[in-house]
A and B are shown apart, each in its own frame.
Chain A
Amino acid sequence: EAQVTQNPRYLITVTGKKLTVTCSQNMNHEYMSWYRQDPGLGLRQIYYSMNVEVTDKGDVPEGYKVSRKEKRNFPLILESPSPNQTSLYFCASRRSWDREADTQYFGPGTRLTVL
């Protein structure tokens, strides 16, 4: 089954404790991205990757890091989480980076709470 998976689905942590949210897709997609969803703001892009070893900032990258060492995986790293990073996070993938009409597939989401 074609899918995007994220782990963990729920996470409660404390300020300053480094964490990683994993994302994996099994569709051989080139393009992957991370979004955060906050009430009243919709989804905002954090980082994206056009292919292996090619990543760049989205609209709200502060406090986040990413890496793309393999095509299928795109982990989101919070080196020193803060309470304003409490949010619902979605990973997404798309077949190619240069075809904006392609469907973007989303993972189930990770609800992060930073105390």
Chain B
Amino acid sequence: AQSVTQPDIHITVSEGASLELRCNYSYGATPYLFWYVQSPGQGLQLLLKYFSGDTLVQGIKGFEAEFKRSQSSFNLRKPSVHWSDAAEYFCAVGVSGGYNKLIFGAGTRLAVHP
């Protein structure tokens, strides 16, 4: 069955430090992969997505993610975190066939220390 695993429930980093959020997926076909961010009290905003081509994807707010098929991973990175990046981050895989839905991971909550 298709699934998405985000191994880290909570992560705390200092402002200015680099960030990597992990995402592993289980899916038999070529995946469509997404990272969403949910700021407190807000809906989900798309950070970036991968569906083909270059495996290093650039997104908004200075984020990037790298698709590694051999590791079934799609980790999110940012070289220097800002206090405003504190939020919950969700990785999702787009499942084709049938009803073409998104399957989400459980999320990683990021705290940023000044």
Contacts and interface: CB of A to CB of B under 8 A. Distances in A.
Contacts of B34: 104
A105 B44 CA distance: 8
Contact of A50 (B43, B99, B102, B105): B99
Interface of B: 4, 6, 9, 32, 34, 36, 42-46, 49, 51, 90, 92, 94-96, 99-102, 104-107
B88 to A, nearest CB: 9
Contacts of B90: 42-43
Contacts, number: 60
A100 B93 CA distance: 9
Interface residues of A, number: 28
A104 B46 CA distance: 8
Contacts of A44: 104
Interface string A97-110: 11111011111110
Contacts of A100: 32, 94-96, 100-101
Contacts of B36: 106
A103 B47 CA distance: 10
B26 to A, nearest CB: 14
B101 A45 contact: yes
A35 B103 CA distance: 10
Nearest to A9: B41
Contacts of B94: 100-101
Interface string A28-66: 000101010000111111001010000010100000000
